[in-house]
C-alpha cells in the first residue's frame, strides 16, 4: 500500500515538472505578434493588454473574449467527439437484437455520457464559443463587461468534464468500484438516488460546476449587452443574434441555479441521509418537477441562439434583410417566457392531476405559434431572394427543414393522448434529435463556415464543406426518421437490447429500422470527419483571406458589424487606411455613423 502511494506521488511529481517544463518552453513571453493566425488579436481589451504572451501561457491566461470564444469552441468540439464516439458504439450494439458487443451496464453508461456530454459539454459551450467571440464585435464593445469572470467561467468547464467522464477512467482502475453513471441524462429518482456508485456523485458534482459556469457566463452577457454597447447600437437595431443571446442568458439565470439546487438535494439524499426524493417520506416526482423546470427551458437555452444565428446568416445569402425583424425578436422573447410554463409535458404519464395536465398541454401547444412565426419569417426572407447556396446557407436551409419535422413532432407529443402512446419510445428520441442534431448542430456548422475567415484568416475548402452538409443532412434524416418509425412500432427508448416478443413489437421490422438508423449514423459520422479534416487542414493550408468582404456582402448592403471589424483588422495589418463607411445594422436601417467602436479604435491607433 505505502509503496503504491509513494510510486503514485513520484509519478504525479514527474507529471507536474513535465507540465511546467512544457509551459515554459512554449510560453515565450516576448514573441507575441499582433496578427498571429491572420485574425488580429491584441489591443482589444479594455484594461490595457496591448501585448499578449505567446504559446500555452497565452491560452491559460487570456481574458480576451475572442480567445475565450476559441477555447469554448475547442472544448465543445472535443466533447462532440466524445459524445459522438459513445453513440457510435451504441448504434453498433443496436444493429442486431441481443447482446453482441457490450453488456447492458456499459451501454447504459454510454447512453448517460452521450446525453450529458452533448447537452452540457457540447451544446451550451459551443454556443458560448460564438457568443463570446462575436457578441462584443456585433455590439461594438471592447470586450465582455467582466473579462476575468469570463475566463473563470470557461476554466470551470475542464474540471466539469473530468468529473463527468471520470467513471470511465476509474472503473478499470478500481475494479468497477467507481464506475460511470448509469442514470441517463434525466437522472430520475429513485434510480439516481439509490445507485450505489460514487461515479454518480462525481458526475453530479461535474454537472454542478458546468451549471455555475453557464450562470457566470449568462450574467456576463446580460451585463455586456446592457452596458457595453457602442452609442450607436440601441434596442431597435441590436442585431438578432445578440437578442437571442440576451434571452438565452435570462433563461440560464432562472434555470441553471434551479438545476444546481436539485443536484445538491440529490447529493444530500445520496450521501447525507436526507429524504427529498425518497420513496418513503419524500417524493421521486419532486425530482421530475425540479429537473424539468430546468430541463424544458434548457432545450430553448440550446435552440434560441442557433435560431439567432440562422436569422443573422440566412439573409446574407438571400440578399435581403430579415423579413419581420421585430417579430423575430418578439417571438424569441415569447418563447423565452412560455418555456417556463410547459415543464410538465414531460410528465404527462406520471399521474399528475388531469386538470393541471391539460393546462400544460395548452401552453405547450401555444409555443408552436412563436415558433411558426420564425419559420415563416425565414421562408419569407428566402422568397424572391438572390439565393447563394454557400455552405453556411445550405446549413441554414437544412436547419429550417429539420425544424419543421422537429417542431411538429413536438406538437404531437404535447397533445396528451398522443403522448400517452408515444412517451418513452424512440419517437421522443427522434423528436428531440431532429432539434438537437438537425438544428443546433446545423446552425453551429453554418456559423463556423460563415465566420471561418474571421477567426482563422483562411478560407475553408468549399467542396468538402458541401460534402459535409449533404452527408449530415442525409444522415440526420435517415437516422432520426427511422427513430420516429421505431417509436410508432413501440420500441422503448434506453434499452440495450430488443429481444422482446412479437406482442410488444414486430421484431423483424424493428431490427431493420435499427439497422437503417445505424447506417444513417455512420453516414453522419463520415460527414463530421470530413468537417474536422476541412477545419484543420484549411487552417494550415487554406487560402489566406485578403478581402475584408469574403462573402461579397457589400453588394447587397448586408455587410455586418463583425465583418466591418474584420476589414479594419486587415487594413491595420497591412498598414492601409480605414475607410469611412455607412453601417447597416440588423434592423436593416442605415445608421449615419462613420465608424464602429472597433474601427474608431483602429483609426486612433494609426494616427
Q: Which helix (H) or strand (E) holds 128?
A: helix 124-138
Q: Cβ of residue 262: shortest distance to ligand HEM, in angstroms?
A: 16
Judged on CB neighbours under 10 Å (0-12, 13-18, 19+), 85 is: middle
Write the DSSP string, 247-310: HHHHHHHHHHHHHHHHHHHHHHHHHS---SS-TTTS-HHHHHHHHHHHHHHHHHHHHHHHHHHH
Q: Choose the one of Cu ion, ligand HEM, none that binds residue 191, judging by a C-beta under 5 to 8 angstroms depending on kind.
A: none
Query: Closer to ligand HEM at the Cβ: 211 or 410?
Result: 410
Q: Cβ of residue 177: shortest distance to ligand HEM, in angstroms?
A: 29
**Interface positions with ligand HEM (CB under 6 A):** 186, 299, 302-303, 345-346, 364, 367-368, 371, 407, 410-411, 413-414, 419, 423, 428, 431-432, 435-436
How many CA atoms are closer than 13 Å to the CA of 259, on its beta-carbon side?
Answer: 29
Q: Cβ of residue 345: shortest distance to Cu ion, in angstroms?
A: 5
Q: Which stretch binds Cu ion (CB under 5 A): 29-37, 237-245, 294-302, 577-585?
A: 294-302
The SS3 call for residue 492 is strand
Rounded CA gap, 44 and 268, in Å? 45
Q: Cβ of residue 377: shortest distance to ligand HEM, in angstroms?
A: 16
Q: Cβ of residue 186: shortest distance to Cu ion, in angstroms?
A: 11
Query: Closer to Cu ion at the Cβ: 295 or 475?
Result: 295
Q: Choose the one of ligand HEM, Cu ion, none that binds residue 432, judging by a C-beta under 5 to 8 angstroms depending on kind.
A: ligand HEM
List the grid coordinates of 579: 475607410
Query: Closer to Cu ion at the Cβ: 65 or 296?
Result: 296
User: What's CA 366's distance to the chain center, in Å?
Assistant: 25
Q: Cβ of residue 410: shortest distance to ligand HEM, in angstroms?
A: 3
Q: Choose the one of Cu ion, ligand HEM, none that binds residue 556, judging by a C-beta under 5 to 8 angstroms depending on kind.
A: none
Query: Closer to ligand HEM at the Cβ: 404 or 532?
Result: 404
The SS3 call for residue 426 is helix
Residue number of the CB atom closest to ligand HEM: 410
Residue number of the CB atom closest to Cu ion: 296
Q: Which stretch binds Cu ion (CB under 5 A): 16-24, 288-296, 371-379, 488-496?
A: 288-296
Residue 550 near residue 459 (C-beta atoms within 8 A): yes
Which one of 66, 296, 357, 458 is in contact with Cu ion (CB under 5 A)? Answer: 296
Q: Choose the one of Cu ion, ligand HEM, none that binds residue 86, judging by a C-beta under 5 to 8 angstroms depending on kind.
A: none
Query: Closer to Cu ion at the Cβ: 347 or 535?
Result: 347
Q: Choose the one of ligand HEM, Cu ion, none that binds residue 423, judging by a C-beta under 5 to 8 angstroms depending on kind.
A: ligand HEM
Q: Choose the one of ligand HEM, Cu ion, none that binds residue 186, judging by a C-beta under 5 to 8 angstroms depending on kind.
A: ligand HEM
Query: Closer to Cu ion at the Cβ: 153 or 302?
Result: 302
Rounded CA gap, 366 and 359, in Å? 11
Helices (H), 495-586: 507-541, 561-573
Q: Cβ of residue 342: shortest distance to Cu ion, in angstroms?
A: 6
Query: Closer to ligand HEM at the Cβ: 150 or 371?
Result: 371
Q: Cβ of residue 500: shortest distance to Cu ion, in angstroms?
A: 28
Q: Cβ of residue 365: shortest distance to Cu ion, in angstroms?
A: 12
Report CA torsion sign: 438, 86, 290, 244. negative
Rounded CA gap, 597 and 79, in Å? 35
* 396 contacts: CB under 8 Å, gap ≥ 6: 310, 313, 314, 317, 378, 442, 443, 446
Q: Choose the one of ligand HEM, Cu ion, none that binds residue 357, judging by a C-beta under 5 to 8 angstroms depending on kind.
A: none
Q: Cβ of residue 532: shortest distance to ligand HEM, in angstroms?
A: 24
Q: Choose the one of ligand HEM, Cu ion, none that binds residue 407, judging by a C-beta under 5 to 8 angstroms depending on kind.
A: ligand HEM
Q: Which helix (H) or strand (E) holds 408?
A: helix 391-414
Q: Of 387, 519, 541, 527, nearest to 466 (Cα)?
A: 527
- Whether the bond between 102 and the residue before it is cis, its omega within 30 degrees of 0, is no
Number of residues that bind Cu ion (CB under 5 A): 1
Q: Cβ–Cβ contacts within 10 Å for residue 495, how many?
A: 15
Rounded CA gap, 416 and 261, in Å? 29
Rounded CA gap, 566 and 563, in Å? 5
Query: Closer to ligand HEM at the Cβ: 367 or 568?
Result: 367
Rounded CA gap, 523 and 514, in Å? 14
Query: Closer to Cu ion at the Cβ: 292 or 445?
Result: 292
Q: Cβ of residue 432: shortest distance to Cu ion, in angstroms?
A: 9
Q: Does residue 423 bind Cu ion (CB under 5 A)?
A: no
Query: Closer to ligand HEM at the Cβ: 300 or 452?
Result: 300
The SS3 call for residue 544 is strand
Query: Closer to ligand HEM at the Cβ: 139 or 435?
Result: 435
Interface contacts to Cu ion, rule CB under 5 A: 296
Amino acid at each position: 500500500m505505502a509503496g503504491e502511494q509513494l510510486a503514485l506521488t513520484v509519478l504525479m511529481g514527474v507529471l507536474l515538472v513535465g507540465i511546467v517544463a512544457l509551459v515554459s518552453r512554449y510560453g515565450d513571453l516576448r514573441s507575441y505578434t499582433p496578427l498571429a493566425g491572420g485574425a488580429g488579436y491584441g489591443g482589444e481589451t479594455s484594461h490595457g493588454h496591448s501585448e499578449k504572451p505567446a504559446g500555452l501561457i497565452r491560452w491559460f491566461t487570456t481574458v480576451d473574449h475572442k480567445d475565450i470564444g476559441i477555447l469554448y469552441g475547442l472544448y465543445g468540439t472535443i466533447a462532440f467527439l466524445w459524445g459522438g464516439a459513445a453513440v457510435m458504439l451504441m448504434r453498433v450494439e443496436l444493429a442486431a437484437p441481443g447482446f453482441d458487443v457490450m453488456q447492458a451496464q456499459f451501454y447504459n453508461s454510454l447512453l448517460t455520457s452521450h446525453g450529458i456530454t452533448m447537452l452540457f459539454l457540447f451544446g451550451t459551450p459551443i454556443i458560448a464559443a460564438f457568443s463570446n467571440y462575436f457578441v462584443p464585435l456585433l455590439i461594438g464593445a471592447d470586450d465582455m463587461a467582466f473579462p476575468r469572470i469570463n475566463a473563470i467561467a470557461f476554466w470551470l468547464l475542464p474540471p466539469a468534464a473530468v468529473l463527468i467522464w471520470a467513471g470511465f477512467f476509474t472503473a478499470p482502475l478500481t475494479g468497477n468500484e467507481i464506475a460511470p453513471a448509469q442514470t441517463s441524462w434525466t437522472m430520475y429518482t429513485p434510480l439516481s438516488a439509490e445507485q450505489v456508485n460514487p461515479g454518480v456523485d462525481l458526475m453530479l458534482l461535474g454537472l454542478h460546476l458546468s451549471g455555475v459556469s453557464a450562470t457566470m457566463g449568462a450574467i456576463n452577457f446580460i451585463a455586456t449587452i446592457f452596458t457595453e454597447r457602442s452609442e450607436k447600437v440601441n434596442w431597435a437595431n441590436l442585431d438578432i443574434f445578440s437578442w437571442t443571446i440576451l434571452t438565452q442568458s435570462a433563461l440560464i439565470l432562472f434555470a441553471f441555479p434551479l438545476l444546481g439546487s436539485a443536484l445538491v438535494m440529490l447529493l444530500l439524499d445520496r450521501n447525507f441521509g436526507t429524504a427529498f426524493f425518497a420513496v418513503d417520506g419524500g417524493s421521486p416526482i419532486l425530482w421530475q418537477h425540479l429537473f424539468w423546470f430546468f430541463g424544458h427551458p434548457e432545450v430553448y437555452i440550446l435552440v434560441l441562439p442557433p435560431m439567432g444565428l440562422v436569422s443573422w446568416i440566412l439573409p446574407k445569402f438571400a440578399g435581403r434583410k430579415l423579413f419581420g425583424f421585430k417579430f423575430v425578436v418578439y417571438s424569441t422573447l415569447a418563447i423565452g417566457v412560455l418555456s417556463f410554463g410547459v415543464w410538465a409535458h414531460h410528465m404527462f404519464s406520471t399521474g399528475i392531476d388531469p386538470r393541471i395536465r391539460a393546462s400544460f398541454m395548452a401552453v405547450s401547444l401555444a409555443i408552436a405559434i412563436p415558433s411558426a412565426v420564425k419559420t415563416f419569417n425565414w421562408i419569407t426572407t428566402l422568397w424572391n431572394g438572390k439565393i447563394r447556396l454557400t455552405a453556411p446557407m445550405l446549413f441554414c436551409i437544412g436547419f429550417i427543414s429539420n425544424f419543421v419535422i422537429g417542431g411538429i413532432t413536438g406538437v404531437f407529443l404535447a397533445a396528451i393522448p398522443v403522448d400517452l402512446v408515444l412517451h418513452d419510445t424512440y419517437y421522443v428520441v427522434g423528436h428531440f434529435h431532429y432539434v438537437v442534431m438537425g438544428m443546433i448542430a446545423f446552425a453551429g456548422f453554418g456559423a463556423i463556415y460563415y465566420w471561418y475567415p474571421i477567426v482563422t484568416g483562411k478560407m475553408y475548402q468549399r467542396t468538402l464543406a458541401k460534402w459535409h452538409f449533404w452527408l449530415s443532412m442525409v444522415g440526420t434524416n435517415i437516422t432520426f426518421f427511422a427513430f420516429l418509425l421505431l417509436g410508432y412500432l413501440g420500441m422503448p427508448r434506453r434499452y440495450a437490447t430488443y429481444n422482446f416478443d412479437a406482442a410488444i413489437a414486430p421484431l423483424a421490422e424493428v431490427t431493420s429500422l435499427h439497422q437503417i438508423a445505424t447506417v444513417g449514423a455512420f453516414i453522419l459520422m463520415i460527414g463530421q470527419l470530413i468537417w474536422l479534416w476541412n477545419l484543420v487542414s484549411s487552417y494550415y493550408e487554406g487560402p489566406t483571406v485578403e478581402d475584408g468582404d469574403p462573402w461579397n456582402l457589400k453588394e447587397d448592403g448586408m455587410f455586418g458589424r463583425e465583418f466591418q471589424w474584420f476589414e479594419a483588422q486587415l487594413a491595420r495589418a497591412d498598414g492601409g487606411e480605414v475607410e469611412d463607411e455607412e453601417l447597416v445594422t440588423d434592423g436593416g436601417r442605415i445608421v449615419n455613423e462613420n465608424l464602429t467602436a472597433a474601427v474608431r479604435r483602429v483609426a486612433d491607433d494609426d494616427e
